[in-house]
Chain A
Amino acid sequence: TQLLEQSPQFLSIQEGENLTVYCNSSSVFSSLQWYRQEPGEGPVLLVTVVTGGEVKKLKRLTFQFGDARKDSSLHITAAQPGDTGLYLCAGVKVDSWGKLQFGAGTQVVVTP
């Protein structure tokens, strides 16, 4: 059983459309991170959210941490082909010394 459930598993959209990726759990996290991974590369950190209800924006990407710190979402506005990649959420459980628990990822494909 996965600690962090990501949905959807795969998302294919046209350039200019919006999309939302979800990351859900029954566990509480000290923080939650979002990474993007491209083929042949390791994941790269996009953002860390720490406070329940926190919203962070990174250009066209908006990240939200749930009030209870059990879930998070990533919203991309006006997606571009450069947004294509595997989006991974990862949570740090309380008292885990910073160890990350990863979701299985959402593969996003944005076509021109």
Chain B
Amino acid sequence: EADIYQTPRYLVIGTGKKITLECSQTMGHDKMYWYQQDPGMELHLIHYSYGVNSTEKGDLSSESTVSRIRTEHFPLTLESARPSHTSQYLCASSEYAGGSTDTQYFGPGTRLTVL
């Protein structure tokens, strides 16, 4: 059973606010990911990390930033939220098993609405 948690589950916030989406996993996984998901569209990778102090931008350009100070924690921050940031944000983690067969475990997601 995967143990990966995201808070908050839902967030409605005004334009210009700074927000942090939390993601924690208790599986000791080195690899962690942030995806953006919109209805009818594929999940887009926006950030990933291979371990502590490692962060990389994903395939979809994002104004958000991430940090990885502890193995279990991978928060995502938006310095100034805009309506275009409205989306579902999914966090995932995986244990390295050769790359092509890694299983990613997903959190339940944070539904962000920026007014």
A residues apposed to B, CB below 8 Å: 2, 4, 9, 30-31, 33, 40-45, 48, 50, 88, 90, 92, 96-105
Distance of B89 from chain A, by nearest CB (Å): 10
Residue B103 lies at the interface, judged by CB distance under 8 Å to chain A: yes
A92 and B99 contacting across the interface, CB-CB below 8 Å: yes
Tell whether, in the assembled complex, residue A98 and residue B40 are in contact, meaning their CB atoms are under 8 Å apart: no
List 11 extra interface pairs beyond A45-B105, A98-B96, A102-B44, CB under 8 A: A40-B109, A42-B106, A42-B108, A42-B109, A45-B104, A48-B103, A97-B99, A98-B94, A98-B102, A99-B48, A100-B45
Contacts of A97 in B (CB 8 A): 50, 99
CA of A98 to CA of B32, assembled, Å: 11
| B100–A31 CB distance below 8 A | yes
A54 to B35, CA, bound (A): 28
Cβ-defined contact, B108 with A30, below 8 A: no
In the bound assembly, the distance between CA atoms of A101 and B42 in angstroms comes to 8
Residues on B close to A: CB < 8 A? 4, 31, 35, 40-45, 48, 50, 58-59, 90, 92, 94, 96, 98-109
Question: In the complex, which residues of chain B have a beta carbon less than 8 angstroms from the beta carbon of A90?
Answer: 43
Chain A interface, >50% SS class: loop
Chain A residues near B107 (CB, 8 Å)?
Answer: 42
In the complex the two chains form, what is the Cα distance from A96 to B48 in whole Å? 12
Quote the shortest CB–CB distance from A65 to chain B (angstroms). Answer: 12
- Check A9/B40 contact, CB under 8 A, given A41-B109, A42-B108, A100-B45: yes
Contact A100 B104 (CB under 8 A): yes
| Contact of A105 with B42 in the complex, beta carbons under 8 Å | yes
Minimal Cβ-Cβ distance residue in B for A43? B106
Contact assessment for A31 and B101 in the assembled complex, using a CB-CB cutoff below 8 Å: yes
